[in-house]
Structure 1
């Protein structure tokens, strides 16, 4: 299907992007990698009169440690997330998730910011930033703000971004030395949307879990924090007994949609199996 008619403009600064957006009273979409916007336009899911290319805005690029956080610019390509040594060291869940995102051709062009702004509930990166307890840096005409990932994903394809605002970067707190991580998903074929996925991290003291952060995806309209499963792990080693408690607790955390081809009870069972698998192979960062 052909794309609807639109105007393409390139912004060189945030101020120019906001001006171009306001000129058409919000009937515009920001373009970064294009692997979400262009297919949705081809399917007539959206038909903005203007596409504003923000890939040339310098503030959206770069990966760097800034104080106590790793700042990852929104224009960082999926392939960069997968290969960057700073991401591997300080935000390993993103590095572990990246190989599961679609296929190499898409990873070479798709951007982290575009992926998070789309907020596909079956996507890997939203769950990873949720488990990492990251903050999303947003900039708009009224200034900058930092929104915790727990408050960023609001509903199906809905985020805390206000009209005209730009997702600028992701801020990941630097992890302590004794934090362990794991990520996995179940999909029919590699590169397909996940049937269920898990991103998890835990802090250990003398082998005992003192903090845990678990997020699941493709189990609801947003990535889901598994608070009951997290609580089930704290105060005990990562043992078969604590893993079984966490798996059982998922029934309190998840209320997956009932799909005729994939009933909710089956999705919940897959989530339990995958959570056990992920927790059983948690690894320290490189």
Structure 2
């Protein structure tokens, strides 16, 4: 199939993009990398009358420190997340997740902001910004606001974005020397959607975990914080019993969807296996 006919606007400023979307209403879509939008256009699952190209907006590019945060522009491509020195230094969990995103052709075009705005529950980056306690910068006609990742992901493909709003950047708290990160996912083949994936960031106080944040994906309609598992680990040293307690706590944290190929019990089992593996790495100083 081919996409239905549509008009095209190459926006020169954020204000122009927002105004065009406001005028067109539900008949408009923003496009940047297009790795999720273009297939739905081709299948006619979406048929907007206007595509607003934001690819060339300089305001949406760049990575820089701003106080205690690293500001990552929404147009930062997946490949850049892998290569950008400031991300490697101050947001290494995003760097660790990036090589697992689909395939090189998609990483070369897909954008971080697009992944966050789409909020695919099986995608790596939404769960990682949740684990990082990041903030999402959003632009609308009324101005700019920042929303905590914990409040941004609402339901299946539903976010805190109001109609016509645009993700402009992600603000990640700066990584500290007392912190450790770990990431991995289980998939049938590299590049396939994960059966289950997990990333975590832990702050250490001597031999004990001071605080830990754990983000899972592909285990429900939204990226998920494993808060009960976190509670079993906070203020404790890692040992086999503590890891086992965290694995058991996932029963309260995760509600995997039912599907023909992967039953919920199997996905929960894989989540426990993956959690144990990553906590082992954290304990070894990952």
| Equivalent residue number for residue 164 of structure 1 | 164
1:205-220 pair list within 5 angstroms: 205-220=205-220
Aligned mates of 1:223, 1:44 — CA distance in 2: 27
Shift of 1:238: 2.1
In the alignment, is residue 68 of structure 1 matched against residue 68 of structure 2?
yes
| Equivalent residue number for residue 246 of structure 1 | 246
Aligned mates of 2:117, 2:97 — CA distance in 1: 17
| Equivalent residue number for residue 95 of structure 1 | 95
8 A Cα contact 2:139 2:165, kept in partner: yes
| Equivalent residue number for residue 185 of structure 1 | 185
| Equivalent residue number for residue 105 of structure 2 | 105
1:180 counterpart SS class: strand
TM-score, structure 2 as length reference: 0.97
Q: Which runs of 4+ in 1 moved over 4 A?
A: none
8 A Cα contact 2:121 2:156, kept in partner: yes
2:109 counterpart SS class: coil
| Equivalent residue number for residue 116 of structure 1 | 116
Aligned mates of 1:100, 1:267 — CA distance in 2: 19
Change in CA separation of 1:228 and 1:207 when aligned onto 2, cut-off 3 Å: same
8 A Cα contact 2:203 2:209, kept in partner: yes
8 A Cα contact 1:183 1:199, kept in partner: yes
Aligned mates of 2:130, 2:53 — CA distance in 1: 27
8 A Cα contact 1:70 1:90, kept in partner: yes
Gaps of at least 5 residues in structure 1 are: none
8 A Cα contact 2:92 2:175, kept in partner: no
2:26 counterpart SS class: coil
Gaps of at least 5 residues in structure 2 are: none
Q: What number of residue pairs does the alignment pair up? A: 285
Aligned mates of 1:25, 1:274 — CA distance in 2: 43
8 A Cα contact 2:208 2:235, kept in partner: yes
2:209 counterpart SS class: strand
8 A Cα contact 2:220 2:255, kept in partner: yes
Shift of 1:25: 2.3
Aligned mates of 1:10, 1:84 — CA distance in 2: 27
Aligned mates of 2:227, 2:254 — CA distance in 1: 10
| Equivalent residue number for residue 274 of structure 2 | 274
8 A Cα contact 1:29 1:50, kept in partner: yes
In the alignment, is residue 77 of structure 1 matched against residue 77 of structure 2?
yes
8 A Cα contact 1:226 1:253, kept in partner: yes
TM-score, structure 1 as length reference: 0.97
| Equivalent residue number for residue 41 of structure 1 | 41
Shift of 1:116: 0.8
8 A Cα contact 1:178 1:284, kept in partner: no
Change in CA separation of 1:68 and 1:284 when aligned onto 2, cut-off 3 Å: farther
| Equivalent residue number for residue 28 of structure 1 | 28
Aligned mates of 2:20, 2:175 — CA distance in 1: 39
1:108 counterpart SS class: helix
Shift of 1:257: 1.0
